[in-house]
Amino acid sequence: MKPADASAQKSPVAFSSLGQRAQPPTIAKLMAMALETPNLLSLAAGFTDNATLPVDFVRVATEAMLGNPGDREFLQYGTNQGRPRLRQQLAERLAKIELGLDATELQRGLFITNGSQQALYLAMQVLADPGDIILVDRPSYFVFLEMLSGLGLRAVSMPVDAEGKIDAPALGTLLDGLASNGEAQRIKAVYFVSYFSNPSARSLDEAEKNAIAGMLSSRGLLIPVVEDAAYRELYYSEAPAARSVLSLPTWRDFPKLYTATLTKPFATGLKIGYGLCTDEAWLKKMLHVKGHHDFGSANFNQAILEHALTTGNYDGELARIRPAYERKMRALHEALVHEGLPAAGWTWAAPSGGLYLWLEAPATLETGLDSAFCRACLDAGVLYVPGELCFGDQPAKNFIRLSFGVLGERDLAEAGRRFVTVVKRFV
């Protein structure tokens, strides 16, 4: 569903093709719905937990940073690629989990962005022209999918099996089909969210990542790969075992961009993320365009995060929020079970990390923003993200994403109760 941009139709301003394609982001619409509906409990926005935000640390860090009148550089412009010390810290952190990678080498390809969202946008902007194809996971991150459509790009989903795993033979068939239509040259990149995905909460295992690499390389398609690891650090008790494309040998010959963020694990309001690119030419192009966007992300915010990493407060925050998110996930999951959602034919899996539950309703139930079910949920005071937004093509109509990031445990239980009450009216 695309919300209409009525003001553009009435305006005397002549828009570029990019401007014409730009549509109000669905996330803004969901937020507006949340604000317009009193007493609504929103399970829609992917916000993080308010109660555990590192308020005290940020206050103390700011005082420490500005305490010495000589230390003024934090309040100056920084560099386009980002603070060298922060880049070094992030590269060292990654080298600890991706054994065999050299931190100095990683630092060279690492650039700080205005949230990892900006790294994703830069990547697409420099790689693809309108009409080009981006292979995406199924389901995929809906803000990324909307970005693709804003850029005039075509998302083509990589097929999955009944368990949601990459279906390698079907992917091969899809690629062969594109080749026989003369479209292989239009495939400009492959994108997937690999850890505790938004929306599915699934992680790709190494076999799946290898299967994608194998299907592409056996057809000579050594196209750029973008691995979005936004939730990699948000596991509840055990770090995910799968290596990323950065160190998996099957991806060795591909140009790679790995994106990750400090917003979800620390504070979304600081909006600092990063990209790590293994291809020098691709990296340079993204940095040139970043220079056009902003010539550097907020230096002050980067410095706060640098301080958090140096003092160990970043890891302290992670240690605090991991169990908090697990408790919140359980609160919502158990409320849904207790209220009888499985008996109504809905299925989902309790995740071991991330911020989302991905629910499949019986095949005949439509859950889109304009559906009777969605309106009934709003009337009952609960909001979700319709799953149909999360498919690059052939959208399934009977999925929803519930986020347990923002609400407290009691509200999550109440939201679950309201949700199942509506579900029972639609059985």
Ligand X SMILES: Cc1ncc(COP(=O)(O)O)c(C=O)c1O
Q: Which is nearer to ligand X, 136 or 193 (CB)?
A: 193
3-state helix, strand, coil in the chain (%, to 5): 45, 15, 40
CA distance 419 to 407: 15
Given the rule CB under 6 A, which residues bind ligand X?
46, 115-117, 141, 193, 198, 228, 230, 261, 263, 268, 273
**Which of 365, 401, 359 is CA-nearest to residue 383?**
401
Whichever of 208 and 339 has its CB closer to ligand X, that residue is: 208
Given the complex with ligand X, which of 46 and 255 has the nearer CB atom? 46
Closest residue to bound ligand X by CB: 115
Query: Nearer Cβ to ligand X, position 151 or 413?
Result: 151
Shortest distance (Å) from residue 355 CB to ligand X: 8
Minimum distance, C-beta of residue 376 to ligand X, in the bound complex (Å): 27
- Quick one: 200 or 210, whose CB is closer to ligand X? 200
Task: State how beta strands 110-113 and 273-277 pair.
Answer: antiparallel
CB of 12 to ligand X, least distance (A): 34
Query: Residue 88: which residues within 8 A CB-CB, separation 6 or more?
Result: 103, 107
The CA distance from 262 to 264, in Å, is: 6
CB-neighbour burial class of residue 179 (10 A; exposed 0-12, middle 13-18, buried 19+): middle
- The smaller minimum CB distance to ligand X, of residues 236 and 373, is found at 236
Q: How far is the CB of 263 from ligand X (least distance, A)?
A: 4
- Of 144 and 373, CB closest to ligand X: 144
| Of 334, 389, 388, 356, nearest in space to 145 by CA | 389
Q: What angle do CA 351, 357, 359 make, to 5 degrees?
A: 120
Output the smallest distance, CB 230 to ligand X, in A.
4
Q: How far is the CB of 246 from ligand X (least distance, A)?
A: 17
Contact 111, 283 (CB under 8 A): yes
Least distance (Å) from ligand X to the CB of residue 271?
Answer: 6
Is residue 78 within 8 Å of residue 299, measured between CB atoms? yes
